[in-house]
Amino acid sequence: MNYRSLNRGDGGVIAAAVLLFVFSFLKFFSTRGLSSNGWSTDWFPALPSIFLAGIIGAALVVVGRIAKPEIAGREFLGLRLSQWGTALTVTALWASLWTLIGGKDGLDTAAGQILSFFAVLILVGFVVATPLVPALQAPLIPEKSATPAQPQQPGQQQPQPGAYGQHPQPGYGYPGPQAGGPQPGYAAPTQHMQQQPPQQPQPAAPAAPDPNFQPFWFAVPVQRPLYAEDGSQNTVAELTPGTWYLAVGQSGQELVAQTQDGRRGVLKDTSNIQRG
């Protein structure tokens, strides 16, 4: 299980499912001499169509996020786990809406019925909005920050001017350069050095692919671009946390990755990736 694949939207899904479970124990309908919660058979099918469908749907969405690719990508009756979870949560919202506005003769709406509707509404909102809103795709578990630089220990010597090959600067007891010729320690530039044009930086040649590379699945901790394989700065896709991608090649520290829809590109930043 890749728990670091969970994002903020998944956190909202989990929180809404917990609220739905808690609200299921409140009074669902109330009438004279009869008042019971959502687990009562008197209000069937409220239990399977609202509470169980919503909670199980939320669990499938989260499991589809953290499970390994061979499990998350497996289809059951034509749908993946996350797709089944989305369908169940939408079904729960539809059923909760009709129990709220349909009403029954002699029954009064209770707190459990109203609150469970809003819990399912929030649940569906997070499920649907997470793939569309970048802010909800941020990791739920932040990466560990880099170790800060250690402070200087007492008694540690600071490098002095002129030490470790540094040229002494004018002032602080050192005389400045005098007119009338080159100074000791500073060689005058030769004619060849004066006439030589500055060298232009040459682009580094791409490293040869690793012939012994074995493909593997991976996930990124934060959203990262996938660049074109021709070496340009054009992006072919954006890799997002919570999705598994296939590494099909390696060139130095860079990976040649393939998205689930078949697009290929180069992932230049491979730090803290999660292998499947």
What is the model's pLDDT at position 72? Answer: 67
DSSP 212-266: T---EEEE-SS-EEEE-TTSSS-EEEEE-TT--EEEEEEETTEEEEE-TTS-EEE
Q: Are residues 119 and 232 in the same domain?
A: no
Give the pairing of strands 264-267 and 254-258: antiparallel
Of 239, 151, 76, the C-alpha closest to 255 is 239
Choosing from 137, 160, 182, the residue where a domain stops is 137
Host domain of residue 265: 216-275
Structure tokens at 95: 């059923």
d(Cα 45, Cα 202) in Å, to the nearest integer? 71
Residue 63 located in a structural domain: yes
Residue 156 located in a structural domain: no
Of the chain, the end-to-end C-alpha distance in Å amounts to 9
Q: What is the pLDDT along the chain (276 residues), one digit of tens a residue?
A: 666 778 888 889 999 999 999 998 888 877 765 667 878 777 778 888 899 999 999 999 988 887 777 676 777 888 888 889 999 999 999 998 988 887 666 677 788 888 999 999 999 999 999 888 888 888 887 665 444 444 444 554 444 444 434 444 444 444 444 544 445 544 444 454 445 555 554 444 454 556 678 888 888 888 889 998 888 888 888 898 878 888 998 888 889 998 887 888 999 988 888 887
One-letter amino acid at 68 equals K
Query: What is the number of structural domains in the chain?
Result: 2
Residue 167 located in a structural domain: no
Q: Which residues contact 250 (CB under 8 A, 6 or more apart)?
A: 209, 210, 213, 256
What is the model's pLDDT at position 193? Answer: 46
In angstroms, the Cα distances linking 194 to 190, 191, 198, 200, 240 are 6, 5, 10, 16, 52
Q: Is 17 helix (H, G, I), strand (E, B) or coil?
A: helix
One-letter amino acid at 6 equals L
Q: Are residues 19 and 122 in the same domain?
A: yes
Q: Is 141 helix (H, G, I), strand (E, B) or coil?
A: coil
Q: Where are the alpha helices (DSSP H) in the chain?
A: 8-23, 46, 53-66, 69-72, 81-102, 111-129, 191-195
What is the model's pLDDT at position 143? Answer: 61
Q: The whole model's pTM is what?
A: 0.52
Choosing from 97, 121, 137, the residue where a domain stops is 137
Residue 166 located in a structural domain: no
Which residues partner with 37 through β-bridges?
Answer: 27
What is the model's pLDDT at position 207? Answer: 46
Residue 50 located in a structural domain: yes
Residue 250 located in a structural domain: yes
Q: Which residues contact 161 (CB under 8 A, 6 or more apart)?
A: 168, 169, 172, 174
**Helix H or strand E segment including 35:** strand 34-37
Burial tier of 99 (Cβ tally within 10 Å: 0-12, 13-18, 19+):
buried
Give the pairing of strands 224-227 and 235-239: antiparallel
Residue 146 located in a structural domain: no
d(Cα 109, Cα 51) in Å, to the nearest integer? 17
